Amino acid sequence: EAGVAQSPRYKIIEKRQSVAFWCNPISGHATLYWYQQILGQGPKLLIQFQNNGVVDDSQLPKDRFSAERLKGVDSTLKIQPAKLEDSAVYLCASSTRQTEQYFGPGTRLTVT
Amino acid sequence: AQSVTQLDSHVSVSEGTPVLLRCNYSSSYSPSLFWYVQHPNKGLQLLLKYTSAATLVKGINGFEAEFKKSETSFHLTKPSAHMSDAAEYFCVLLNQAGTALIFGKGTTLSVSS
């Protein structure tokens, strides 16, 4: 079966610009996650969706980050405006059960 | 508090020798624990998981981990390292609500020939 797809794979922007990442989960996976992985650290959950509803967004910096999952399939994560500290790999994962998460290859964001 | 501590940021072994990656956890509940592997430019892959069944858990590619409640540890081992094992390894704890994975900072495994 096809895995979790993410695009773009790499993105370089200047601070204060906006950027969007796209994720297509594994077909049939109701739960979708966005993680932020800063260099040298483990991934940190930003937001979790169950179908098109938000389950947990307690770690999402809502003043600049937003995410949506229209129709309960694809998802988009947006940052506006970006800061230098947002440089990281943004990982998308999906699952059918809480404990089985499948990860995409990630989008590496560099903010200059 | 719930957290995961990986005791080594970098481990180097020779091909064919044993691998030991150490992980301690902190939780006030019965934990579900995992090991994930991340190869360069690839997504995270689940190696194995512990969910309160057998304390010795076998995973893919010859890896296994032993849950020790008395030591609050979940160390990852492999009898004989292969060059393809070189990667970043993450010890992971499921939060009490069952809604999020809590990752350690990772251990980089290097394998030399």
Q: Which tens digit of pLDDT belongs to each residue from B33-42?
A: 999 999 987 8
Q: What are the Cα distances from residue B15, in Å, to A41, B20, B85, B86, B88?
A: 26, 13, 9, 10, 17
Per the structure block, which two tokens stand in for A72? Answer: 């309960």
- CB-CB neighbors (< 8 A) of B92 in chain A: 42
Residues in chain A: 112
Residue B103 DSSP label: E
Distance, C-alpha A59 to centroid of its chain: 12
Residue B98 DSSP label: S
Spell out the domain ranges in chain B: 1-57+85-104
pLDDT band at B51 (very low <50, low <70, confident <90, very high): confident
pLDDT band at A99 (very low <50, low <70, confident <90, very high): low
Q: Which domains does chain A have, with CATH numbers?
A: 5-111 (2.60.40.10)
Residues B38-55, buried b or exposed e (16+ Cβ, 10 A)? beeeebbebbbbbeeeee
CATH superfamily assigned to domain B1-57+85-104: Immunoglobulins (2.60.40.10)
Rounded to whole angstroms, the Cα distance separating B33 from B45 reads 14
- CB-CB neighbors (< 8 A) of B44 in chain A: 43, 91, 93, 103
